[in-house]
Amino acid sequence: MSYGTAVTVDRPHAEVVGRVREALSEQGFGILTEIDVQATMREKLGEETGPYLILGACNPPLAYRALTAEPSIGLLLPCNVVVRADGDRTLVEALDPDIMVRVAGNPELEDVAAEAKTRLAAALRAVAEV
């Protein structure tokens, strides 16, 4: 089962993170949460991993529409975007918003998910074009 979409960029992780933030902002997403998985694994487990960042992206108008249609949908929000090292390249992955429609089983979410999917795809294309 596919639950996301991804682009690989031939640029360093730190540089790509900045571009991902910009691209998401251009599509109306703000970052509500940020999890530095690499730092967490080092601090909590003493394990070293490559750079791995989870950004919780939120487009407020879309989130409002989704929450109005399905109040419990907050369990599946925000839209997670992962930026992680992949050798000398950086992989950027975004959760497919259709997942929330499938999980909730509420057809009122279909338009919201379709718009979110379009906006996230545009952000990933912008990142890939750098």
For strand 89-95 and strand 4-9, is the pairing parallel, antiparallel, or unpaired?
Answer: antiparallel
Q: Is it the case that residue 128 has pLDDT exceeding 70?
A: yes
Express each pLDDT in 27-68 by its tens digit.
999 999 999 999 999 999 999 999 999 999 999 999 999 999
Residue boundaries of the structural domains of the chain: 4-128
The yes or no reply on domain 4-128 and CATH 1.10.10.10 is no
pLDDT value for 46 = 98
